[in-house]
Structure 1
């Protein structure tokens, strides 16, 4: 596709023995197969951002990547009814770079499937002037949803991923065009 949207997928969990790579790799296969996107990954485990939000060469490089992106998807777990602290640091490290850009969520966890984390994230991304995509991919009891090859037979999640990518592409194209012709006033 001509001029695909630059999609950054943020992998939020940084815990040892995390399940995030399984969920992220599954979603990335779908995103990479979608020609509407030039998909890249920011794994927060490998992204040294200072928790005091000080400016470092790493945080500057991170902000440049956020600025260059047209759309985002966060792959997040749920910890204690919330999202990981690493993700809060990542969201707070950048500021204007997030504005007028769409963001989707892929969540996983126990019984709630990470949906409580997503509901909190919707409040945060609204505050930083992002557009939250309505469709969410959620894996309840996630470790039971994937086989040894990292595939899932969860039809609802597969369907939601397709719908989310379609909505993300629409918002991404629309907002990219708007930013180019009429810069966001925030």
Structure 2
């Protein structure tokens, strides 16, 4: 097994003016930060089309998609980012952190799962969800509920397991295209 730190791309899925996604993504990256087995890098859907984004996605061992829920689904810039980088998702693990009104963004996550399955990505079961979005965070960008860090830890454990399994499998044999 390759013991080098896993590269986790934390994806900000919204590109709207005044979006809250960067705050949530920064919190996710901060949760990953203390772990010596992981390296976090924030990738912004607002930067769609840049060579940097393509490289960041390609080098990632796994992803945490941070998505709001817009109209019972996920944002169009996130869909464009996913669709434009087909090979970069292949045989990699994906976890979700969602936010939004009453559903906390969970409908967006449920719509993303089959899209990513079509690209041969493996989504992990545990999701972190913030019902009410901005109201769940303090002025410093930290969740008000102390259970949020524990939920993120459970999500990351599943992501790490799948990311290692898939990275090791890709190293033994390239994933069929």
Interval containing the TM-score (normalised by the shorter chain): over 0.9
Two-structure CA RMSD over aligned residues (Å): 1.6
Equivalent residue for 1:108, pick from 86, 99, 102:
99
Task: Give the structure 1 partner of residue 7 of structure 2.
Answer: 6
Runs of 4+ residues over 4 Å off in structure 1: none
1:10 CA displacement: 0.6
* Contact 2:48 2:77 survives alignment (8 Å): no
Is residue 21 of structure 2 the alignment partner of residue 17 of structure 1?
A: no
Is residue 131 of structure 2 the alignment partner of residue 140 of structure 1?
A: yes
Is residue 83 of structure 2 the alignment partner of residue 92 of structure 1?
A: yes
Q: Distance in 2 between matches of 1:65 and 1:26?
A: 19
Task: Give the structure 2 partner of residue 53 of structure 1.
Answer: none
Q: Distance in 2 between matches of 1:48 and 1:40?
A: 15
What secondary structure does 1:164 align onto?
helix
Equivalent residue for 1:173, pick from 156, 164, 174:
164
What secondary structure does 2:33 align onto?
helix
Q: Distance in 2 between matches of 1:62 and 1:144?
A: 30
What secondary structure does 1:10 align onto?
strand
- Write the deviation string for residues 104-150 of structure 1: whole angstroms up to 9, x where unpaired: 00000000000000000001000000000110000001221111111
Is residue 74 of structure 2 the alignment partner of residue 83 of structure 1?
A: yes
Which structure 2 segments of 5+ residues have no match? none
1:156 CA displacement: 4.1
Which structure 1 segments of 5+ residues have no match? 50-57
Question: TM-score by structure 1 length?
Answer: 0.89
Question: TM-score by structure 2 length?
Answer: 0.93
